[in-house]
Amino acid sequence: MVTFILVPGMCHGGWCFAELAEQLRRRGHRAYPLTLTGLSERSHLLHGGVNLDTHIQDVTGVLDAENIEDAVLVGHSYGGMVTTGVADRMPERVRALVYLDAVVPQHDDSCWNLVTDQERRWYADVVESGYAVRPLPFFDARATPHPIASLLQPLRLTADPARIRHRVYVYAAGWDGPSPFTPTYQRLRDDPAWTTHAVDGGHNLMRDAPHELLNILLQTGESADRRRAGAGRPASTA
């Protein structure tokens, strides 16, 4: 049995992973689709201080409360900022990192400096309070404003993210226009430390390519289990 922690991107909640989580559970795994502070059913918690650290703490809190070890952290889009921070703070609890068409930050990166001018113009479209970025018009009707401080705060790392040896990048190859993640995918595709996949779907791979994504996660979980056994710990059983 593998434990998957599913972290959504901007303006989304755990609902975007609901079907994927159900499919993982049907195959004997544990799956936690999370909603970050200030979003979706937790939108009432939004205030000006909700930042990247808040979202990292959301996930580390789940790892602690549920006594989760050897987690496969799955981050979609902005969620890559969060999962990278979690792996830095609790590396002993993380077996693998999966980036779903996501940012792959290094120390002192923020979402703001990793995206294009087009995305930065979107970030400037804030709600009346000034605390959050409005969802784009084509987002799911359940999307809610995203805490802007989480996009501006730089990620502080204490070690090289490469210490998490099992890292996977899933690239959405079916954007309607140019993808802002193409340079990241091309760089990682040529890096032997990474496993990369190109999937024919738009940015929301959970909706556009659910079967392909499920298979990639199942393969990642199996590989994580083999690495666990190879490190001298018994492989988990479903």
Q: Which residue has the tokens 């689709």?
A: 33
Which distant-in-sequence residues (6+ apart) come within 8 Å of 236 by Cβ?
1, 2, 70, 225, 228
pLDDT surpasses 50 at 134:
yes
pTM: 0.94
Q: Give dist(CA 118, CA 147) in Å, integer.
A: 18
Of 40, 43, 77, 236, the active-site residue reads 77
Within the chain, what is the greatest distance between any pair of CA atoms? 54
CB 193 within 8 A of CB 186: no
pLDDT surpasses 60 at 234:
no
Output the CA torsion sign for 83, 14, 51, 147: positive
Query: pLDDT band for position 143 (50/70/90)?
Result: very high
Q: How confident is the model over 6-35, as pLDDT tens digits?
A: 999 999 999 999 999 999 999 999 999 999
pLDDT surpasses 80 at 226:
no
CATH number of 3-230: 3.40.50.1820
Q: What percent of the chain has pLDDT over 70?
A: 95
According to DSSP H, which parts of the chain are helical? 18-26, 52-65, 79-89, 111-114, 117-123, 149-152, 182-189, 205-208, 210-230
pLDDT surpasses 80 at 233:
no
77 is catalytic: yes
Of 112-121, 141-150, 154-163, 227-236, which gets the smallest average pLDDT?
227-236
